[in-house]
Amino acid sequence: MKTKILILLSALVLAAMPAVAQQKYACVNTDYVLRSIPDYSNAQKRIDKYVEDWTAELAEKQAEVETLRSEYEQESYLLPENLKKRRQEEIKAKEQEVRALQQQRFGPGGDLDKKRAELLKPVQDRVWAAIERIAQEKNYGFVFDRAGSPAVLYANKKFDISDDVLESLGYKPGASAAPPEADNGKKKPTNPEMRQRDNDRKSVNTKGRELRK
Give the per-residue pLDDT at 136: 87
Using one digit for the tens of pLDDT, what is the confidence trace for 160-179?
Answer: 788 888 888 888 887 654 43
Residues 6+ apart with CB under 8 A from 95: 65
As a whole number of Å, the CA-based R_g of the chain is 26
Q: What is the pLDDT of residue 107?
A: 96
pLDDT band at 10 (very low <50, low <70, confident <90, very high): very low
Residue-wise pLDDT for 34-54, tens only, equals 999 999 999 999 999 999 999
Helices (H) and strands (E) in the chain, counts: 8, 4
Q: What's the CA dihedral at 201, 204, 210, 211 to 10 degrees?
A: -130
CA 9 to chain centre: 37
Distance, C-alpha 6 to centroid of its chain:
39
Please tell me the distance from the alpha carbon of residue 208 to that of residue 201, in angstroms, as a whole number.
10
pLDDT over 90 at 119, yes or no: yes
Residues 46-76 pLDDT 10s: 999 999 999 999 999 999 999 999 999 998 8
User: What band does 204 get if pLDDT is binned at 50, 70 and 90?
Assistant: very low
Percent of the chain with pLDDT over 90: 38
Q: Which of 41, 36, 43 is nearest to 170 (CA)?
A: 36
pLDDT confidence tier of residue 196, bands split at 50, 70 and 90:
low
The DSSP element (H or E) to which 67 belongs, if any, is: helix 38-75
What is the domain partition of the chain in residue ranges? 23-212
pTM (global) more than 0.85: no
